Amino acid sequence: MSVLKLVEAVKAGDVENVAALLDSGEAIGQQDGYGWTALNWAAGKGNPDTIRLLLAAGADITHAGRDKRTAYQIALAAAQTENAAVLYRAEQEAGIRLGPGIQDYCKAYVAADLKQFPGWPSQLPGLADEDLVFLHADLSVTRSMLAGKEVLFAGTSVAWEIFCKQQLAFKVPGDLEWAAAFSAKKPVTAAQPEL
């Protein structure tokens, strides 16, 4: 085993060896050639127990290697949703992550669905019930998929927000939901690239 015993133990998936190395005082911040620590490797291919061990031993949750990704970002990229959830909670507890990131998210609806809102503008020229419109994270409605382009309705009222949530079931997915959806659709192949 190389001088990076902890990193190698994590890469091998050996939770017992990780625990033994931590108990013996192995350096938690050791980095490989990519600048990744044991926590970075555990995020992408380890299991949540390994991540918990490393965090309890004082692993730096904010450390990013040469690729500028934190452990949480690595877990998301690898669609390791359980790992990402553990890291997300750890970031919140450390006061690092205060909420989901701002996303340029929109969802398509037929105009007829949105016209059910009592405060919907009655005079929108050229908007047929069957036309597709886009509801954005800021609850504006546009003809374009791009936020702020061809705005039809800039709903800002509490009533509109309630309508969007209850009637349209509109919700901006968080990072973990994106990763879980990706993971569910990811085909299983015989030759997966090694992390």
What percent of the chain is modeled with pLDDT above 70?
Answer: 85
Instruction: In whole angstroms, give the CA distance from residue 149 to residue 16.
Output: 55
150, two tokens: 């061809």
Per-residue confidence (pLDDT) for residue 105, from 0 to 100: 74
Q: What is the mean pLDDT of residues 150-162?
A: 90
Instruction: In whole angstroms, give the CA distance from residue 139 to residue 102.
Output: 13
Per-residue confidence (pLDDT) for residue 102, from 0 to 100: 43
- Could you read off the pLDDT of 80-105 as tens digits, one per residue? 888 988 998 898 888 886 444 445 67
Q: What is the mean pLDDT of residues 33-48?
A: 92
Instruction: In whole angstroms, give the CA distance from residue 90 to residue 18.
Output: 19
Within the chain, which residue ranges are assigned CATH 1.25.40.20?
A: 5-93
- Topology of domain 5-93 in CATH is 1.25.40
Backbone angles phi, psi at 29, to 5 degrees: -95, 10
Q: What is the mean pLDDT of residues 113-129?
A: 89
Per-residue confidence (pLDDT) for residue 186, from 0 to 100: 54
CA atoms within 13 A on the CB side of 122: 1
Instruction: In whole angstroms, give the CA distance from residue 12 to residue 95.
Output: 31
* Nearest CA among 117, 144, 120 for reference residue 132: 144
CB 96 within 8 A of CB 62: yes
Mean model confidence pLDDT for the chain: 84
Q: What is the mean pLDDT of residues 131-150?
A: 87
Which of 112-116, 132-136, 144-148 is predicted with the least confidence, judged by mean pLDDT?
A: 144-148
Per-residue confidence (pLDDT) for residue 58, from 0 to 100: 96
- Greater model confidence, 187 or 34: 34
Looking only at the bridges linking them, the beta strands covering 132-136 and 140-142 are antiparallel
Task: Report residue 169 CA to chain centroid gap.
Answer: 20
